[in-house]
Amino acid sequence: MNGFFTTVLSFWQIISLLIAQVVDVVWGLPLVILLVGGGSILFVYAGFLPFRGFIHAFKLMLGLYHHPGESKADGQLSHFQALTNAIAATIGLGNIAGVAVAISQGGAGAVFWMWVSAFIGMNTKCFECTLSLMYRGRDYKGEVHGGPMYVIQQAMPKQLKFLAYVFAICGLIGCMALFQTNQLAHYAQEQIGCPPLLIGLLGAGFVLIVMKGGIERLGHVTGAMVPVMTVIYVVSCLIILVLNFDKVPETIMLIFKEAFSGRAAGGGVAGYAVAEVMKVGVKRAAFSNEAGVGTAPMAHSNVRTNEPASEGLVAMLEPFLDTIVVCTMTALVILIGLPSGQGSAEEGILLTRLAFDNSLGVAGPWLLGAAIFLFSTTTMLGMANYNLKCWNFLFRGRWGLGENVFYVYFCGTLILASVAEITDVVNILDIGYGLMAYPNMLAVLMLAPKVKKTIKEYIEKYQI
């Protein structure tokens, strides 16, 4: 029996090494150029047009502005519910554990490249989410949906329509909630001694209950949980930063310095080249705010509106709130809370916990624990929604592969993730995310003139 388990372990170690090699290929220079370079092209091409609607986007999100005939438009969610649905997947453990992974892999300098990627990503997300409203479709049940697969299917040349299925297949990998379940399980085990497998089972049950209620129940749940989780975490970080205000300026300088020196910070691996640090920052930013990956358009496509550009402007807020605000706070807390060299053996969420321990004492782990629970569970829901959309696009209820089979598949991955190694979890998701970005960014770049025209007409129409 011991020999059998040894053979299985050795086999998985080989698979794990292969997965790591695939990540290096997928996240090579071409994808970095596509996300940062392609996003920069869109940024210049748009001529700051979307940023003119920044304040207007907040008004839309808060329900302070309504378009004529909006109540009778297609869609199931309000602007706020659509944004919180998307934020449920974006502002998640990528902001807590993902930033820790970025710092441990690429040093403080990786944070700078996360900022650059997010700033460019604001424009990218505006374009891709506007597209998802311009080319909405209906699933096999007749419900309104959208996303890159529908955009590619309806608007791209015939010879490229196969990319819709490529995106959906990769979405089944990239949109698994493995990271969230894994990190919640590890934190619960470390903090209260709860078995990881139990967390996986409870998480699967929670997702099943909410998702069986449909998109409306999902919108109500995320609309209630997202503001609470964001306030808890942001206030906790602000307390730490206020208590250590004298260290903030030097920490920000460290981020800028190491962005161009290629040296990893304490807790990371020394000797990184600047290009490698940039790749780490871009990769973790994509995992955090999802700009260019194509996930957010699937959430925003359910909004009830007759103005596609309006939701593009609302979507633009995600990278700002997610990376520029929340991820920056996490990075500063980690870099301030951990003396040089401390936490080098820690991974992901445990690195952040160590920083909270050092700064807030006994209250730190409990405040962080509350945020982790809310962040991880809402992200599980957001990812389940994305994954279901890809599943239904591919199978359309045929061959006995309806939604009940999907729930078994998705909840099964949550249970397995709770006992998996974080390195394997991150690598599997990075492969899915990277492969999703290729068809999505290609579609966004090719259809950019139509999007720019739509946004420009909207801004002129409502005199923004």
Q: How far apart are CA 181 and CA 417, in angstroms?
A: 6
Half-sphere CA count of 301, side-chain side, radius 13 A: 27
pLDDT value for 83? 57
8 A C-beta contact, residue 230 and residue 96: no
Nearest CA among 351, 405, 378 for reference residue 228? 378
Q: How far apart are CA 52 and CA 458, in angstroms?
A: 11
Give the long-range contacts of residues 200-205, CB within 8 A, separation 24 or more.
200/414, 200/415, 200/416, 200/417, 200/418, 200/419, 201/415, 201/418, 203/177, 203/376, 203/377, 203/380, 203/414, 203/418, 204/411, 204/412, 204/414, 204/415, 205/411
pLDDT value for 271? 40
pLDDT value for 151? 92
Q: How far apart are CA 215 and CA 359, in angstroms?
A: 40
Q: Domains in the chain, ordered, with CATH?
A: 23-461 (1.20.1740.10)
Residue at 211: amino acid letter: M
Nearest CA among 225, 183, 193 for reference residue 81? 225
The tokens for 394 are 């591919």
pLDDT value for 268? 41
* Burial grade of 15 (CB within 10 A; 0-12, 13-18, 19 or more): exposed
- The conformation of residue 392, written as its DSSP 8-state character, comes to H
8 A C-beta contact, residue 154 and residue 135: yes
- pLDDT tens digit at each of 464 positions of the chain: 555 445 545 666 777 778 778 877 777 778 778 877 888 888 888 777 667 777 887 777 766 665 565 555 555 555 565 555 555 555 666 677 677 777 777 777 778 878 887 788 888 888 988 998 898 888 777 777 888 999 999 999 989 999 999 999 999 988 888 878 887 888 788 778 888 889 888 888 888 888 777 766 766 676 677 777 778 888 888 988 998 888 889 888 988 887 777 554 443 444 445 556 666 666 555 555 667 788 888 878 777 778 888 888 888 887 888 778 888 888 898 888 776 544 443 455 667 777 787 777 777 778 877 877 887 887 888 888 888 889 989 888 788 788 889 888 888 988 988 888 777 887 888 888 889 989 999 999 999 999 999 988 888 887 77
- The conformation of residue 246, written as its DSSP 8-state character, comes to G
Half-sphere CA count of 304, side-chain side, radius 13 A: 16
Half-sphere CA count of 327, side-chain side, radius 13 A: 38
Q: CA angle at residue 241 from 328 to 193, to 5 degrees? A: 80
Distance of CA 113 to the CA centre of its chain: 16
Q: How far apart are CA 312 and CA 367, in angstroms?
A: 34
Give the Cβ contact number of residue 165 at 10 Å.
16
pTM score of the predicted model: 0.78
Q: Which residue has the tokens 């995600």?
A: 318
pLDDT value for 140? 76
Give the Cβ contact number of residue 457 at 10 Å.
12
pLDDT value for 288? 58
Measure Cα distances from 218 to 19, 88, 113, 229, 285 in Å. Answer: 33, 10, 33, 16, 25
Find the helix or strand (DSSP H, E) in which 153 lies: helix 148-155
What are phi and psi for residue 102, nearest 5 degrees? -60, -45
pLDDT value for 341? 46
Half-sphere CA count of 218, side-chain side, radius 13 A: 29
Nearest CA among 212, 265, 119, 203 for reference residue 403? 212
What are phi and psi for residue 80, nearest 5 degrees? -65, -45
Q: CA angle at residue 221 from 220 to 227, to 5 degrees? A: 95
* Burial grade of 93 (CB within 10 A; 0-12, 13-18, 19 or more): buried
Q: How far apart are CA 255 and CA 323, in angstroms?
A: 15
Question: Of how many residues is the chain composed?
Answer: 464
